[in-house]
Structures are given as structure tokens and as C-alpha cells.
Amino acid sequence: MAKHQRGQRLLPESEVEEAFRRLKSHMPGRTATAKGPKDQPDPFRSVVSCILSAQSLDRNTAAATNALFALVKTPDELLALPDEAVAQAIRPCGLYNMKTRNLKALCRTLIDEHERVVPQTREELMRLPGVGRKCADIVMSFTFDADVIAVDTHVNRVANRIGITDEATADRTAQALETRAPAWAQRDGHFWLIQFGKAVCKSQRPRCETCFLNDLCLFFSASKVVVTEAVS
């Protein structure tokens, strides 16, 4: 199977739009029960959970958030909790010392600069300690219902494989999707792409032969060229 190579030809706008039409038709999209990151009930806990999820498996993030939120519910409560207690609670998600520092700095910033209210814009969210582009977009999409395509591992892989984007990092892919994805696809695009990445365009052994996008996909087209050259 051919590997994606950066610098490939991008799909034209008309084909990007067609790709999203098909994704909308085949993938379930945003469900009625979609809530904040890791099912947290409010913006503060959504941001905290998102920070804890960095380089962590979902089950480990869930264990860490459940343990932490059994102890605290607000920025003031988390800030008052000793560092050792925070680190012990979030230990399952890894990098717990660094994440403890980020969480304490997050709470101090929310209290001092935002009247304990989580901001809703990407720019303000990304100024919060521990919050990068991916985390900001996830909070915006899930918690504040913004029309934004948050880019995780699956979305990054799929968008670049197909040829919707052609970027080296997830943050750059997110920036490209802002302009490359049609406006009507911004709301549910994250859901279609991530569901597609999990069910069809898997990291290992993608289901290219039966994929509903294979006539558009640059990755599949390159794969056929490789096979043809090998046979000849």
C-alpha cells in the first residue's frame, strides 16, 4: 500500500465538496447526545478533561477525570487542592506532574482574567495554560456548539490521505480545513471524518477497495499506480 507523501496534488474544490457530500450521506455525524469532551457537563470540566486527554488513552483519561472530579468541581476547589493530591488523582492519564502544573495555572488564569468563566473563542482558549489548537477546537465544537472541524489523529490522517488537505501537522490541517471544507460541512465535518477514519480509512489496512471515496482519493490513486508499476 502506498504511503501518503506531502506535496501531493490537492483535490480541487469541487471534489472536496463531493467528498463531504458522500461523507454526510454515509456517516452518522453529530448525534443528539453529543456532549462536552469525555461527556463532561460544563465548560470548565470539559477543558480540564481535554487537557488530561493529551497523550492518553480514553480509558485512562476517564479514570483520571473521574478521580479528579470526585474531589473538585470548580477552579477555586482545584486550585486549593494540594499538588500532590491532584497528581495522584490524575496519575492514570500520564504526564501527571506537568498536567498538574497546567491545571493549576489554568485555574489561576480563569480566576484572575476571566471571572471563572471559560472563554468561547479559539484565540482566548489557546491563551489558557495547557490548551492547544486541538483542545480549543474540541471545546468550541462540543461544548459551545461552534461550527469548527476539530482535528484529532483520525481526522488528520483521513483529510491528508484523501487529498482534502496536505499538511505536516494536525494544527496545520485544522487551519487548512477552515478554508478547504465547505461552510455547510464545518459543523459536522469532525464527526464524519472521525467516524470514517475509525470504520473505513483505518490507520492500518484501510478498506480502500470498497470505500465510497476511492474514485476521489489521492491515496488510493497512488496505490494503484504502485501496484501497476510492480506488476509491469
In a shared domain, residues 55 and 125: yes
Catalytic residue of the set 134, 137, 166, 188: 134
Active site residue 152: yes
Q: How confident is the model at residue 29 (pLDDT cuts 50, 70, 90)?
A: confident
Residue at a domain's end among 143, 174, 204: 143
In a shared domain, residues 184 and 163: yes
Per residue in 58-107, pLDDT (tens digit) is 899 999 999 999 999 999 999 999 999 999 999 999 999 999 999 999 99
Catalytic residue of the set 73, 152, 171, 202: 152
What is the percent of the chain where pLDDT is above 70? 89
In a shared domain, residues 54 and 103: yes
Cα separation, 149 vs 134, whole angstroms: 9
In a shared domain, residues 53 and 139: yes
Per DSSP, the chain holds a count of helices (H) and strands (E) of 12, 0
Residue 65 lies in a domain: yes
What is the percent of the chain where pLDDT is above 90? 81
Residue 1 lies in a domain: no
Q: Give the up-direction half-sphere exposure of residue 224: CA atoms within 13 A in the CB hemisphere.
A: 9
In a shared domain, residues 97 and 182: no
In a shared domain, residues 161 and 116: no
Domain range for 182 is: 13-31+149-231
In a shared domain, residues 73 and 166: no
> Higher confidence at residue 224 or residue 211?
211
C-alpha cell at position 36: 462536552
DSSP string, 101-112: HHHHHHHHHHHH
In a shared domain, residues 159 and 223: yes
In a shared domain, residues 23 and 54: no
For residue 41, what pLDDT is reported? Answer: 78
Q: How confident is the model at residue 18 (pLDDT cuts 50, 70, 90)?
A: very high
Cα separation, 220 vs 4, whole angstroms: 10
Q: Find the CATH number of the domain harbouring 18.
A: 1.10.1670.10
In a shared domain, residues 86 and 155: no
User: Among all chains, which residue has been given the C-alpha cell 490524575?
Assistant: 90
Residue 180 lies in a domain: yes
Residue 5 lies in a domain: no
Per residue in 140-169, pLDDT (tens digit) is 998 898 999 999 999 999 999 999 999 999
Confidence (pTM):
0.84
User: For the chain, how many structural domains are there in total?
Assistant: 2
Residue at a domain's end among 143, 170, 192: 143
Active site residue 134: yes
Residue at a domain's end among 143, 171, 195: 143
